[in-house]
Structure 1
Amino acid sequence: MTPEDLFREPEQPHSGTRPQQDLDVLPYGSWFGPAEPAEAAAGYSYEETHSTYGGASYLEQHWPHPAAQFDEPAVQVPGHWAPTGSNGTTGSDGPAGPPVEEPQPEDPPTLELGPPVLDVHFPYPQPEPGEGPGPLYVIGDVHGYLDDLLAALHQQGLIDAEGHWSAGRSRVWFLGDFTDRGPDGIGVIDLVMQLAAEAAAAGGYCRALMGNHELLFLGAAKYGDEPVQSTAGTASFLAAWRLNGGQQHDLERLEPHHISWLSRLPAMGIEDGHLLLHSDTTAYLEYGETIADVNDAVHTVLADEGIDELWDCFRKFTKRFAFRGQAGTMAAQELLSTYGGYRVVHGHSPIPYLTGTDHPDDGAKPHVPGPYIYADELAIAMDGGVTMNGRLLVARLPLN
């Protein structure tokens, strides 16, 4: 059972959730293991991290904010699995593990960032005659693991050693879930916003999707402990956020420009025939028949439709495993025939859960060599399970 299942609701049409007995039917798929980059051959390792990005420490030192709206301590749920991730913090779900210590504050940053300036139009360098678009990259769930993200981006040549964009006209899409479970969700958001500005100035772009944890985080910030009418019993966004790995220090450091940026993220997109989603669910079909309609519908829910409508949206995009098992290929085909593209690329469900290769009993590190291609090669899973000691995946598309 994953943490999101703790608030279980009746199945909805197009929910994508397979019957429980089908969860043991593993997909027939293949791993994509890219060749070792030149940086690795030169001595750079995947585990190497860079600490030059200011992130949370800079915010805390230079962006004073009012007292936190919510000052209750995070709730530890009895029996809730909290394995240690690669940074030694609470991870995903499973059997109870030993208590973990809160991460210590970072050293003073060497890269100073002011509040991101929104809606600035950068002069895009014009492409050379006959020059096509830059290469396309996708990035799976980050969940607050800023150092892992910096290492993975550097390994792919997308940033330099100081954490700045170095990929020229490349196109980058984050698939959502920036916060919760890891130590520095706000730092991750700040980095993505910074890279978006730097990429635009270089003639490329860095974009991001709305994940279910963005919906949950925004709901916790906006509604707090206000009850929602859940068929699973009365609940609140704040309680659900804490139960699913919400970090109090992220909530305390959330600023209005973060909320504005997160609220405008699209729910889905398409690039080079790749249909980009956060969640491996067909719930998107309930919000429109075009990508633009889906994005507009989700933005409307966030803007003014109320707490129960946002809760319902969060619950629908928390569903998973739509492309797994015998009906998975048909579910992927349904989304592709509706929204376009020839292959779905998603995050949300950690690959070790998707493939049944997690090891909750023996504690062994999951084997995640790369993205997972399945559903008759119509779907690519990109959540490498960084919260469960897996990997934070960055991949260049297309994958063959």
Structure 2
Amino acid sequence: MTPEDLFREPEPDLSGTRHQQDLDVLPYGSWFEVPEQPPAGYPSDETHSAFGGASYLERHWPTQGQIPVGEPLPVVGAVPGHYAPSFLAPPFPVDGTAGTPGAPRPEDPPTIELGPPIPQDVHFPYPQPDPDEGPGPLYVIGDVHGYLDELLAALHQQRLIDAEGHWSAGRSRVWFLGDFTDRGPDGIGVIDLVMQLAAEAAAAGGYCRALMGNHELLFLGAAKFGDEPVQSTAGTASFLAAWRLNGGQQHDLERLQPHHVSWLSRLPAMAVEDGHLLLHSDTTAYLEYGETVADVNEAMHKLLADEGIDEWWDAFRKFTKRFAFRGQAGTMAAQELLGTYGGYRVVHGHSPIPYLTGADHPEDGTPPHVPGPYIYADELAIAMDGGVTMEGRLLVARLPLN
């Protein structure tokens, strides 16, 4: 049982989640691992990125004392105000006055669609795209859950950002699959980084976009409703209590600003890109909110803008369901979503791959082994939550996966 199951309703789960006694019947799937020689045009020699926790950084990045004199620092840091990796030297400034050239100052209010405004002295070394030029490569990123250091390392390893933490991928297209906060050390830092990259990518002719996850719903609900009680068949609860039980970090709530709320509230729930149906949750609950991608997104935006606590709680409960695409009924569930919203393959986060495959508790006590994205449901679904919160991996993948 995952922490999010604490507030699951005992009513029948229409999303395809199976009963606990059936979970020993594991899904049939395959791992997408890094090819020895990447196809031509890949900007990096890997398709997925970093192990969770500081252990990855310790193994793969030199400490200050290990860096040769005159050599540049690896991944010099983050956006001002973020928690920079502990090996950075000199200390990364947090006031935007020094360090990274052109760093946005904290008093600059970000725009809703693209994130923080870009200072005038920032230089983007990209020419304006040719109107006839095709779109850039498409990447998806699984659940981050506040692990900013791991995200920076993963993006840099994929060459989506440069050594200073800025967009370096030109016309590439990037989708985050949701769940930026909770459990990890710096959820607000992750949100700030994604907003910054959205602005920089747009200036380079690409884009960086994000979906709303169930933890965004939970985080916004905790901020909006606090301890206001909500009635459920599982007993009286509140958003704040559920958020805390599911890894909510008080310092994230204290740092949440109105521009963060506005940006999070406008995130889409789903999207279709290059024949991929992008979702956060591996559930069919999306079908309850509309018959098209636009309908679902409009319904979610209206709910967050106008509805009360009971409607919010119901949405959170529905999008916390999981495992719709595993087991014998999983292929049919994936086909139903694809038939309704379009695309030929579902790409989702939400359910950590070790839970999805039943490999979350290795007998020898080692961290779960996550080679890469997990393809299953007769190759109709790709799982992208590598379980960074349980010492798995923070996954970044270029689509399509074959």
Contact 1:22 1:325 in 2 (8 A): no
How many angstroms does 1:135 deviate by? 0.2
SS of 1:387 mapped into structure 2: helix
How many angstroms does 1:132 deviate by? 1.3
Q: State the Cα deviation string for residues 313-351 of structure 1 (Å, max 9, x = none).
A: 001000000001111000000000000000000000000
Contact 2:79 2:165 in 1 (8 A): no
Distance (whole Å) between structure 1 residues aligned to residue 310 and residue 12 of structure 2: 15
RMSD: 2.6
Distance (whole Å) between structure 1 residues aligned to residue 3 and residue 265 of structure 2: 24
Contact 2:112 2:263 in 1 (8 A): no
User: Structure 1 residues 146 and 116, CA, compared in 2 at 3 Å: closer, same or farther?
Assistant: farther
Q: State the Cα deviation string for residues 144-179 of structure 1 (Å, max 9, x = none).
A: 000100010011110001100000000000000000
Aligned to 2:348: 346
User: Structure 1 residues 119 and 302, CA, compared in 2 at 3 Å: closer, same or farther?
Assistant: closer
Count of aligned residue pairs for this structure pair: 354
SS of 1:395 mapped into structure 2: strand
Aligned to 1:144: 146
Residues 101-112 of structure 1: matches in 2 within 5 Å?
A: 108-109=93-94, 110-111=99-100, 112=103
How many angstroms does 1:13 deviate by? 6.4
Contact 2:75 2:162 in 1 (8 A): no
Aligned to 1:355: 357
Distance (whole Å) between structure 2 residues aligned to residue 281 and residue 331 of structure 1: 8
Amino acid in structure 2 at the alignment position of 1:29: G
How many angstroms does 1:230 deviate by? 1.3
How many angstroms does 1:120 deviate by? 7.2
Amino acid in structure 2 at the alignment position of 1:374: Y
Aligned to 2:165: 163
SS of 1:234 mapped into structure 2: strand
Gaps of 5+ in 2: 51-55, 62-73, 119-123
Aligned to 1:223: 225
Amino acid in structure 2 at the alignment position of 1:53: A
TM-score, normalising length: structure 2: 0.82
Contact 1:277 1:347 in 2 (8 A): yes
Aligned to 1:366: 368
Q: 1:327 aligns with which of 323, 326, 329?
A: 329
User: Structure 1 residues 341 and 11, CA, compared in 2 at 3 Å: closer, same or farther?
Assistant: farther
Provide the identity percentage.
82
Residue 117 (1) aligns with residue 119 (2)? no
Residue 238 (1) aligns with residue 240 (2)? yes
SS of 2:23 mapped into structure 1: helix
Contact 1:55 1:188 in 2 (8 A): no
Aligned to 2:67: none
Q: State the Cα deviation string for residues 22-53 of structure 1 (Å, max 9, x = none).
A: 22211111100123678779xx9863374521
Aligned to 2:279: 277
Distance (whole Å) between structure 1 residues aligned to residue 250 and residue 76 of structure 2: 22
Q: 2:385 aligns with which of 366, 383, 395?
A: 383
Q: 1:53 aligns with which of 72, 78, 91?
A: 78
SS of 2:139 mapped into structure 1: strand
SS of 1:15 mapped into structure 2: coil
Amino acid in structure 2 at the alignment position of 1:118: T
Aligned to 2:292: 290
Amino acid in structure 1 at the alignment position of 2:30: S
Q: State the Cα deviation string for residues 282-327 of structure 1 (Å, max 9, x = none).
A: 0000000000111111111111110010000001000000001111
TM-score, normalising length: structure 1: 0.83
